[in-house]
């Protein structure tokens, strides 16, 4: 696994964070050292896929990056006739995701599409995953996408939404932000790397609160929605149509 030293070296351009070739090249290390609970979320997505995916349906991985959630679903699904559609709009991510899918031994069909998830047609779904991707979309475009995801699912179909969140209580938010900073320091990011990355993500990653996510899911017509995993300000929500 190549080490993420993007903000410790001269590799990152000044300016907003982008899903560039340089980021794609170190992405697994970046996620592992930055997102508490990332590996556990991927593992749980596999377990959930085994349980909920029905024969002859589709699964979508929206903002698939290198396909970690796609491969977890692919290895777990027993139901026949299924297909996974992995979508990302970063050419660098899509190229590497296709390589990862090819290198993986399992034979469930996977389409890796370079496309914008805001305009992607979706249908006949029994599971949709958005693992840390909604946070990168303009806030005013989020409700329409959540509604289209709900409409694409069968009754009983499941949507997994993982996000960085902001706490509604500023004092708790300060504690959680501090604990996350310490988590990154423990994972060997320097104070300079942490602060450069934080500046680059300003207005690029725009977090919502957990109550805002749950209200949006209910407004979109999901019958049930709840947090199934939380570590500091990183949550994974499961919603059922």
Least spacing, CB of residue 132 vs ligand GEK, in Å: 4
Whether the Cβ atoms of residue 96 and residue 71 lie closer than 8 Å to each other: no
The H-assigned helical ranges of 53-82 are: 68-76
Q: What tokens were used for 128?
A: 């949709």
118 binds ligand GEK (CB under 6 A): yes
The Cα 57–Cα 148 span in angstroms is: 17
Least distance in angstroms from the C-beta of 207 to ligand GEK: 11
Minimum CB–partner distance for residue 39 and ligand GEK (Å): 10
Give the CB-nearest residue to ligand GEK. 63
Residue 228 structure tokens? 């199934």
The CA angle 61-62-65, to the nearest 5 degrees, is 85
Nearer residue to ligand GEK within complex by CB, 31 or 149 = 31
Judged by CB under 6 A, the chain residues 28 through 67 that form the site for ligand GEK are 31, 63-65
- Min. distance of Cβ 81 from ligand GEK in angstroms? 25
Q: Which DSSP letter does residue 133 get? A: -
On whether the CB atoms of residues 239 and 163 are closer than 8 A, the answer is: no
Q: 56 vs 143, which CB is nearer to ligand GEK?
A: 143
**Residues at the interface with ligand GEK (CB under 6 A):** 19, 31, 63-65, 68-69, 87-90, 93, 116-118, 131-133, 136-137
């Amino acid at each position: 696994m190549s080490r993420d030293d993007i903000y410790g070296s001269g590799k990152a351009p000044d300016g907003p964070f982008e899903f560039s070739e340089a980021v794609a090249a170190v992405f697994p290390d970046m996620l592992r050292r930055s997102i508490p609970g990332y590996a556990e979320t991927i593992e749980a997505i596999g377990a959930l896929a085994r349980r909920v995916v029905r024969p002859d349906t589709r699964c979508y991985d929206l903002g698939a990056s290198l396909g970690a959630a796609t491969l977890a679903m692919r290895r777990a699904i027993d139901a026949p006739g299924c297909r996974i559609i992995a979508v990302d709009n970063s050419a660098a991510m899509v190229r590497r995701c296709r390589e990862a899918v090819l290198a993986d031994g399992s034979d469930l069909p996977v389409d890796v599409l370079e496309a914008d998830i805001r305009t992607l047609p979706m249908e006949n779904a029994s599971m949709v995953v958005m693992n840390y991707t909604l946070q990168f979309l303009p806030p005013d475009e989020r409700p329409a996408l959540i509604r289209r995801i709900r409409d694409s699912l069968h009754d009983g179909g499941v949507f997994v939404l993982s996000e960085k969140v902001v706490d509604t209580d500023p004092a708790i938010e300060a504690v959680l932000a501090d604990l996350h900073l310490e988590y990154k320091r423990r994972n060997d990011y320097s104070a300079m790397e942490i602060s450069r990355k934080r500046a680059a993500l300003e207005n690029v990653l725009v977090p919502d609160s957990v109550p805002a996510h749950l209200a949006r899911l209910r407004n979109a017509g999901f019958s049930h929605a709840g947090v199934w995993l939380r570590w500091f300000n990183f949550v994974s929500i499961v919603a059922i149509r």
